[in-house]
Amino acid sequence: MNQPGLKILLFFIFLYPGSEKGFAQSIHKVNEITPALKKRKVGDPLKNLPANIEVLTIFGERADISPDNKQVAFMAKTFGDAMLIDIKSKSITCLTCNVPAAAFLRVMHLSTGDYLLIGADHFENISVSKKNTDLWFLSKVPGSKPVKIGQRVNEGVALSKKSLKIAFTELATGDGIVSRLVVADIDLSNGTAKLVNRKTVLESIDKDCSLEAQDFYNNDTKMTFFCYIPNGAFDVKGIDLSTKKITDFSNAPTFFNEPEGIFPDGKYTAVEMDRQCQWLGGQKGSANIDIWKLKLDGSGKDLLRLTHFNDYEGGKAANPVIATNGKFMAFQAARSTDPPGMGHGLLLYWFRDKK
């Protein structure tokens, strides 16, 4: 591990003593998960992982897999530094430790191998600094510093795995529109990043609905998205960028369904869901979620539960992303008391033999 990465790791362990021992280090080990479970267990999901799930880091959140599937970029913490870990060697590099008082929220790979950052140029407070933040371009050349693109966005963005296409949310502009989804291309031709070919694809006039783009699919002709409703239920939706036709894929209006990570065939998406609350109980919504696989056929019935962290008291799994080769998924461990997006370490879920 290089020096910046080592410093971040030591700082994390100092700030959260005992974090290196697991999610619930003081709680005894329990039996393996059973399909007949009707009540949440007391225990540590990280101590009871199935054979196809492995711990990648013991800190961090919001993973993003590189286009060649060899590295994972992630945030050390909310309003912190962007990091990079090599999946094979486990070596960690700090991408933004040359930025004093970095207050970034997300880091994502561009198809070129460069990076896109989302965050404020300085931290004010949680509510102000988390909304309507700046887009930054960070070159893959070692030692580079982030440069503002000149676009403010709300929450996350969709980035193509095949091109420099991007989709993002713009907030109210005083014309009656509460939020709009905009699709554009990132132009890197002059050594700097700028947005070109901007096109609004969807607008919301509902004050309780903030649109958020998630993933492009079908060769960037379609995109998954959802409508963020404070303390409410989300639906997994998709839009055809040419016809503007919208499809509700989850068809479960009373449940929390947030799409996060598209499978490379474009037929399935990973979704944060609270369906297990039907038999486990507890508050529905982002506090009690696990990762499910949903087929994008519009029926909402082809579902497969992938993680079982929420089978444990206080546990949840969140923010999945899928490798472009379809072999694995990266996601984060979190606590039910954490705000959305916060994580306490990254894991890899192998759909096939990792060899």
Element (H, E) at 295: strand 290-295
- In this predicted structure, the answer to whether residue 62 has a pLDDT above a threshold of 60 is yes
| pLDDT (0 to 100) of residue 322 | 98
Tokens of 310: 């929420």
| pLDDT (0 to 100) of residue 208 | 78
Q: Mean pLDDT, to the nearest integer, of 111-128?
A: 86
| pLDDT (0 to 100) of residue 192 | 86
Sequence-distant (≥ 6) Cβ neighbours of residue 61 within 8 angstroms: 74, 75, 77, 78, 319, 332, 334, 341, 342, 343, 344, 346
Dihedral pair phi/psi, residue 206, rounded to 5°: -90, 120
What residue has token string 């430790």? 97
Pairwise CA distance, residues 166 & 159, whole Å: 5
Binning pLDDT at 50, 70 and 90, where does residue 221 land? Answer: very high
Question: pTM for the full model?
Answer: 0.87
Binning pLDDT at 50, 70 and 90, where does residue 28 land? Answer: very low
Q: Which of 154-158, 228-232, 312-316, 321-325 has the lowest mean pLDDT?
A: 228-232
Percent of the chain clearing pLDDT 70 (strictly above): 87
| pLDDT (0 to 100) of residue 354 | 56
Class of domain 3-350: mainly beta
Pairwise CA distance, residues 66 & 59, whole Å: 19
Binning pLDDT at 50, 70 and 90, where does residue 126 land? Answer: confident
Q: Which of 19-23, 87-91, 198-202 has the lowest mean pLDDT?
A: 19-23
- In this predicted structure, the answer to whether residue 111 has a pLDDT above a threshold of 60 is yes
For residue range 232-277, list pLDDT tens digits in order: 788 999 999 999 999 999 989 889 999 999 999 999 999 999 999 9
pLDDT: which is higher, 68 or 16? 68
pLDDT: which is higher, 38 or 339? 339
Percent of the chain clearing pLDDT 90 (strictly above): 71
For residue range 168-208, list pLDDT tens digits in order: 998 876 678 888 999 999 999 988 899 999 999 999 888 77
